[in-house]
Amino acid sequence: MERIKILVADDHEVVRDGIVGNLVRQPDFAIVGQASNGMEAVQRAAELSPHIILMDLRMPELDGVEAMIRIKQDNPEIKFIVFTTYSDDEYLFAAIKAGAKGYLLKDAPREELFKAIRAVSRGESLIQPVFTTKVLDKLALELSRKSTGVDALSDREIEVLDLMAKGVSNKDIADQLSITQSTVKTHVTSIFQKLNVTTRTEAVTTAFKRGIIQL
């Protein structure tokens, strides 16, 4: 039986060595390489064609999400498992959107990591149970948006709406999203048109009733 070829990408050498030390003891795993940053992960993926890349998220030169996107463009058959210390929704959904089939925290038991590698290798997905509710809630919200015909709103417009609901000013929205105030005003105008409203309060109320945002 062919062993599962694994590339480990993590910028901390001690952590990387610990991961590799655990994986090499499994007879069906083959560690084909390591990477200390996102750019190196992209290069090593092209050279080694691993079946699975165990990917950290926060790394120098190129973060894990961007690395996955680049690798997928040239090597769509490679599968990813995110192995990280970050449990934030922002990281979780960005990683899944980039193509991650597994998402585990680094304090997960070794057996859970082994299980994830084998599951993803078979074409399945395995997300640590602590994240299951978040993923299901996100899916339910997306389905609600589509069922109410509001999927015409862009992801950025929904981000702006979320901040509007929190009472954030256009200037602060611009600062938080790293865009100009002019761009914020353009998004707000578009939101008003799509929701058929004329004020921020109406926009937030309508968006909440339709399930576009959660208060």
73 and 169 fall within a common domain: no
23 against 210, higher pLDDT: 23
Whether 137 is in a domain gets the answer no
What per-residue confidence (pLDDT) applies to 109?
Answer: 92
168 and 112 fall within a common domain: no
For the cut 90, the answer to whether the pLDDT of residue 69 exceeds it is yes
What per-residue confidence (pLDDT) applies to 148?
Answer: 55
Mean pLDDT of 2-26: 95
What per-residue confidence (pLDDT) applies to 111?
Answer: 94
26 and 93 fall within a common domain: yes
Whether 138 is in a domain gets the answer no
124 and 162 fall within a common domain: no
* CATH number (domain holding residue 104): 3.40.50.2300
Q: What is the 8-class DSSP label of residue 80? A: E
18 against 207, higher pLDDT: 18
pLDDT, the chain, mean: 88
Strand order across the 29-35 sheet? 29-35, 4-9, 52-55, 79-84, 100-105, 126-127
* CATH number (domain holding residue 180): 1.10.10.10
Q: pLDDT for 136-195, tens place per residue?
A: 666 656 655 555 555 578 888 889 999 999 999 999 999 998 888 889 999 999 999 888
Domain extent for 187: 148-209
pLDDT band, residue 37 (cuts 50/70/90): very high
The H-or-E segment that residue 192 falls in is helix 181-195
Q: Are 215 and 208 in contact (CB under 8 A)?
A: yes
| Gap between the Cα atoms of 164 and 96, Å rounded | 26
Q: pLDDT for 81-111, tens place per residue?
A: 999 887 777 788 888 888 899 999 999 999 9
The H-or-E segment that residue 105 falls in is strand 100-105
| 58 alpha-carbon distance from chain centroid | 12
Number of domains in the chain: 2
Counting DSSP H helices and E strands in the chain, the numbers are 10, 6
